Amino acid sequence: MAKKVNSAKVTDRAEEKKTIVTDAGGVKRYKCQYCGKWIKFETWEEFEAGDYCHQLRDEKGWDEVSLKAHRASMSSENVPVAEDGREYVKVAVLGRICTREGIPVSRLVKAFGRDRTIDGAMHPKFQPVYVGRARYVHPDCAEKWGLDFMRGIKGGSKNGVASELAEVEAALS
């Protein structure tokens, strides 16, 4: 059974306390101050957050207010409908289509701008719309055009996304 210990924070962050747990194996874990994910204690000592949350907030400058506004700008009450009347496709369904077609899901994630669309979608049709907790993209993304677009995305780092986008669009035209 894990033992919970509340410890006072040593910085001026919004939260006053951290929840630290020691599991049966003696490994200390804490709850990230931003997302609530349980992370090994060694990571916390330097940033008081998980690696991704630290990078997103402390290095890229996103804060809770700007992240909520970003999400709200992509949210809708209802599943959107394309110009031709087709409903948008759920990203989870598109992920299964990618797997079936032999396209790595990482390319889908890269196409819509990575986690939370922080990097921006590579094409407007890949701009996700949040309906509750689900994400939806334009129905063309699940058709030949979208699948070919994802096939043309290179793997690896996110550097050069703009030049990569130009290469993909040139290959599709």
Is there a single domain that holds both residue 141 and residue 79?
yes
Residue 164: the pLDDT is 57
Is there a single domain that holds both residue 87 and residue 166?
yes
Residue 67: inside a domain? no
- Please determine, for residue 1, whether its predicted confidence score (pLDDT) is greater than 50: no
Residue 113: inside a domain? yes
Cβ-based neighbours of 89, under 8 Å, separated by 6 or more: 136, 137, 138, 139, 141, 142
Is there a single domain that holds both residue 107 and residue 34?
no
Is there a single domain that holds both residue 36 and residue 84?
no
Residue 63: inside a domain? no
Residue 131: inside a domain? yes
Residue 85: the pLDDT is 95
Is there a single domain that holds both residue 139 and residue 93?
yes
Is there a single domain that holds both residue 82 and residue 31?
no
Helix (H, G, I), strand (E, B) or coil at 89: strand
pLDDT digits (tens, 9 = 90+) for 38-70: 777 665 555 667 777 777 777 778 887 887 888
Is there a single domain that holds both residue 107 and residue 140?
yes
For all residues of the chain together, what is the average pLDDT?
78
Q: Measured between alpha carbons, how far is residue 71 from residues 33, 42, 63, 113, 136 in Å?
A: 19, 31, 12, 13, 13
HSE-up (13 A, CA, CB side) for residue 120: 6
pLDDT digits (tens, 9 = 90+) for 101-115: 999 999 999 999 887
Beta strand 17-22 with 3-8 is antiparallel
Per the structure, the complete domain to which residue 161 belongs is given by: 74-172
Report how far residue 34's alpha carbon sits from residue 151's, in angstroms, rounded to the nearest whole number.
34
Number of domains in the chain: 2
pLDDT digits (tens, 9 = 90+) for 116-146: 788 889 999 999 999 988 999 999 999 999 9
Residue 79: inside a domain? yes
Type of residue numbered 124: P
Is there a single domain that holds both residue 87 and residue 42?
no
Question: String of b and e for 13-32 (b: at least 16 CB within 10 Å)?
Answer: eeeeebebbeeeeeebbbbb
Is there a single domain that holds both residue 84 and residue 133?
yes
For the entire predicted model, the pTM comes to 0.63
Contact status, residue 52 vs residue 61, Cβ threshold 8 Å: no
Q: Measured between alpha carbons, how far is residue 42 from residues 18, 81, 109 in Å?
A: 14, 47, 29
Residue 108: inside a domain? yes
pLDDT band at 3 (very low <50, low <70, confident <90, very high): very low
